[in-house]
Structures are given as structure tokens and as C-alpha cells.
Amino acid sequence: MKTGIIITLLISMVSSLNAALYQIELSPSVPGLNEGSNPYTIDHAVGLSGANEATPNASNAFGDANEIIYDDDSGELFFDFEYGSDFFGTGTDLTSDWTATHIHGPGGVNAPSPNMGGDVIFNLAGDHTPGSSALTGSFFGSVTLDATNEGLLFDNALYINIHSTNFTSGEIRGQLIPTEVIPEPNTYGFIMGLITFGILIIRKRN
């Protein structure tokens, strides 16, 4: 499984020294950095949940992120998230086979009123790795946001929606909320040290 530290290493290598990196969480339990046009940044449930759908459902399926980071210099949104029992234990699988996953927008969070739905912006099917069954799996990859989509991200108006056979409009959903700025390395020496540290970890695992 890909890990957060590997994502951070990749971002450090491709980012400019003047970029800002933002930690993004899926429907976190704390307010985001910017209330923007969607001030209610605390959703009905943490992570990817049926309670966060535009029409909430009773599914017990669950998913969450290992790491989601946005680089405002390159516009790259890096993501590593998972769903179902392979990662979160018994009872967290989708109720039926996975069919699609998208980043949608604009769409507001689900509190205090029913969630708004948005159009498909990115199809993440190519970043999907099936799990031990069609009810569980993971995603690892990146998409590039243009200026409009970056504005939606910082207005808390983008969300991830996982669709299934039973819930064609979405079984579990989580809002993409920027929660903190990650300090950017300001010297090449620091970056090289971080890369070296990562290589040592990878060698140790192998």
C-alpha cells in the first residue's frame, strides 16, 4: 500500500520552493481554514459516509484518506484514500459492487441543511485499485486543478463521491476541506535530507 510519507516525498521533489502545500481532509471533525461560500465545514459524519450524501442513506460503508495534499504552485491535488473492510474492518464494505468514483463540485457540506450536489469534475476510475472483493478498494494518484477548481477547493465546495450498484448517485461521500498549511522546505539541503530518509525507509521495507 502506498503511504503518506511517499506522497510527501514526491510532492517535495516536484514542488517549487515558493509553493504552499495544504493538508486536505475528508469531512473532518474540525472546521476548515476558510469558510468561504460554504461556512458549515463540519459534515454530518467524518470521512466518506452515506450520511454525507445529498440524500443521506443508511449504508454502513466507510472510507477515509491516508493523505490528501494540494500544491498551489503546480495545481496538483495528490490523494491516497481507501474504503471498505480491507482497511477499516468488518461492516465497512459497500452494500454492492463499486461502480465509479468522482470528484464533484460545486457542492456544499451537509450541515446544517441537506447537502448540495455538484457536477463531475474528475473521474478517478483510473486510480482505483480493487480490494479483496468488489466492495472494498483504494485510490492513489493526482489531478490538476485549474483556477476555477482551486477556488472551489478553498471554498470547501469539492467532494469525493463513491458510487455503487445499489446507490447509483453515490453511496459514500466526503467533502474536501483544506485544514492546514504544511510548512514548505526552504532549502535544497533539507529536501535532500528528506529524500535520503525516504530511501532508507524504502530499503528497510524491502
Strands 62-71 and 128-130: unpaired
- Residue 178 one-letter amino acid: P
Q: Tens digit of pLDDT for each residue in 31-50?
A: 788 765 555 567 888 999 99
**CA-closest candidate to residue 105, choices 117, 114, 113:** 117
pLDDT for 1 equals 45
User: Where are the chain's structural domains?
Assistant: 4-205
What three-state secondary structure class fits 129? strand
With a pLDDT cut of 70, the percent of the chain lying above it is: 73
User: Residue 126: what are its φ and ψ, rounded to 5°?
Assistant: -70, -15
Of 178, 161, 158, give the one whose Cα is nearest residue 170. Answer: 161
Q: Residues 104, 97: contact at Cβ < 8 Å?
A: no
Q: Give the model confidence (pLDDT) of 126-162 as tens digits.
A: 999 999 999 999 999 999 999 999 999 998 889 999 9
DSSP state of 8: H
Q: How far apart are CA 25 and CA 64, in angstroms?
A: 9
Residues above pLDDT 90, as percent of the chain:
58
Q: What type of residue sits at position 40?
A: Y
